[in-house]
Amino acid sequence: MRGKFQWEHAVLLLALVLLTVGTYIGLAVAPPERHMGDVQRIMYVHVPTAWIAMLSLTVAFVAAIGSLWSGKHKWDAAVVGSTETGVVLTGLLLSQGMIWARATWGVWWDWDVRLTTSLVMFILFAGVLALRASVDSAERRASWSAVAIIVAYADVPLVYFCVRWWRSLHQVQSTPETVDAAMMLPLRINAFGMLFLATWFIVRRARLELAQRQVEETTLPERRSVEEVQHA
Partner 1 sequence: MSLASRELPSVAATMAPPRSPADTPAGAISGPSWLNNLRAMLAKELLLEWRNLSRLGSVALFGAVTLVLFSFVAPPQAGARRMATAGFLVLALLLSSTLSLSESFRKETHHRALTGLLLVPVAPSAIFIAKAFANFFQLVLLAPVLIPVALVLFSVDLTATSGVSYPLLQLLAVWALASAGLAAPGTLYAAMTSDLRGRDVVLPLLFFPLVVPVLLAAVKATALVLSGDAMGQLGSWNLLLLIFAVVHGTLGTVLFGYAVEES
Contact 77, 213 (CB under 8 A): yes
**Burial grade of 131 (CB within 10 A; 0-12, 13-18, 19 or more):** middle
Identify which range of 20-28, 100-108, 115-123, 206-214 contacts partner 1 by CB under 8 A: 115-123
Q: Which of 122, 110, 51 is nearest to 83 (CA)?
A: 122
Q: Residue 208 Cβ, how far from partner 1 at the closest point, in Å? A: 22
In angstroms, rounded to a whole number, what is the distance separating the alpha carbons of residues 62 and 77? 12
Q: Residue 27 has what DSSP assignment?
A: I
Between residues 17 and 151, which has the closer beta carbon with respect to partner 1? 151
**Burial class (CB within 10 angstroms; exposed 0-12, middle 13-18, buried 19+) of 227:** exposed
Our finding on whether 29 is near partner 1 (CB under 8 A) is: no
88 is a contact residue toward partner 1 (CB under 8 A): no
Q: Return the sign of the alpha-carbon dihedral for residues 188, 189, 192, 193.
A: negative
User: 59 vs 146, which CB is nearer to partner 1?
Assistant: 146
Q: Which CB atom, from 144 or from 192, has the smaller least distance to partner 1? A: 144
Check binding of 217 to partner 1 (CB under 8 A): no
Q: Does 169 bind partner 1 (CB under 8 A)?
A: no
Which stretches of the chain bind partner 1, using CB under 8 A? Answer: 68, 116, 120, 123-124, 126-128, 130-131, 134-135, 137-140, 143-144, 146-148, 150-152, 154-155, 158-159, 161-163, 165-166
